[in-house]
Structure 1
């Protein structure tokens, strides 16, 4: 198309691939620069139902359905001998009731392949090393897989680089997160679970028996394997003498239900870790660019919010860019940053309450009211932009009151 607008997207992860497909379908050329070669390992493996809306928007839903990923119908929370189950079909908000638990290597590769099928150009192992937004068009400097450097310009740049945080680093946008420094240790394993009561359609979030701010994730995949991780503040990990693998196995051994469930497990993959993962920025957009997903802000893995926020940011940015390219007046703050931030702040409310213990009191309360549980379930399903839900619209005040009621036994 003559005069076709071009958008450079940094990163071929979920936000980059979704944004690329959305822009291609609106008539623009998306060029994705990805510093790695897919498939590659990544965490963030338990999707939320809200993600399915964005996957559908991008024309990728059937491909994801056909890929054979493990169905996910909800979440089980466990502490000691207490258990609380949330099924997404019981949620308050309309929308998808199920999603998938995915090994991100294959999931991200599938989305990238779908983006290419829809016309996106992807340059693998091309790394952005400099960025200049002072001119009429954004200009990036890129190093290719052979180490050669070249300039490339576009009509707009979307940073979907995730934890690589390319533009925040190059433009000095990084700001410290308000969360304490936490870390996660994790691995994949052949789980060999033989408990007949175990539901592979549910993610398990398990609270440490003695430390309420330490928790484990157990995410089953459809091939007899699972992802297992433990999260806590750094001083807890540092108190255990030994290498990363020893610290991980020590903490896993401290949780009785995990020990029982995984008694036949084959730990066949190295233990990985990430520390100080929470991040923030001074601004989510500027002249000629916008930040998507983790490149802008990452909270915490506890409610699997990362991919949902990433895909939402891609959807919002594609819509604003479409109107901008059509010559319509747009306001990136009001139409992108603020709507995105509303959902992020709702997630933040519940992440903070989880570590402070209040949300755990709500989740494990013995006399949950079905209508309120349905509203909380919508949060866990990722519907944090549904302001018809009182626990979204007035999240802090509503949750504070609910915590007080649960603690007093009302």
Structure 2
């Protein structure tokens, strides 16, 4: 009989950027999402002006907020302890955000988090917030861009609403060109008030869904009923959407685009090399890939969780069996079993090409699969290498 399965590792997202660029606005925006539960780690809580309306004493941490908890550290030597504490299943966190300005250089911090993880948490990306109105006044464009962009996976060009409409695209392109001098794989997105679609960087509500699927340890407390503030937040979201005029709604839509997504399923063992080819070198515009794949290992088959954010790939033993996904031809939302499922998220990527590539990877020719039955299969070695990296 196999031992208990691990709870899926929690993504740790590093947040960087100059003072006043909009890091706190991004945090407040994410915390207001009605389904999100986020842990936040900072050096100095006094410098982080989190909306007082979000503070509600929800969990037993130094400071609690409706979307999760805040832990204030004096230096990075306490970072690992704080991250481990936030992986407690009772907190039901979807993600942990580290406000990195007072810690080590983001490149060093990213490496530290990768080394510390051990399948409890993993690096979920490095977000840099840029002030669209000030960027070229605060940097020396005659030299290389800041080193932090070497580790950055997503740049938000914020405060675009303060830039003339005719200049917004050019501003984003100028920042993109500058960032790509250091790291051509970084995705650059324009925003205002740091309004980023949270599904691009984590899965709101995943922590609670995981417990309902039996992901918590035996004996853990049952899920507590949602606080009234959660419903108030949902109502506020709905009311804000209803109050927008047609003109304002059009502007909001232009500056707050939703992430593109593609879901691909497969039955039978997938081609692990083809899967790794995709996640290790994501197509232009693809920011994140998540899901589970069934692959041949030795003379049998095993399922693995696969996640990628920019160049960062994380693979672990699957904590649960086949996924339930909506049927492709059903309008009523019926679910079907799938041996493998991968979701691709990004901005401005070729959705048809991504779907075609992964459909081929997850649906291997049945005769080719059958011909390998009974013999050792080593095609999953690349995938297993990523599992061993975090052990």
Please tell me the TM-score bracket, short chain as reference: under 0.3
The structure with higher relative contact order (CA 8 Å, sep 6+) is 1
TM-score by length of structure 2 reads 0.28
TM-score by length of structure 1 reads 0.27
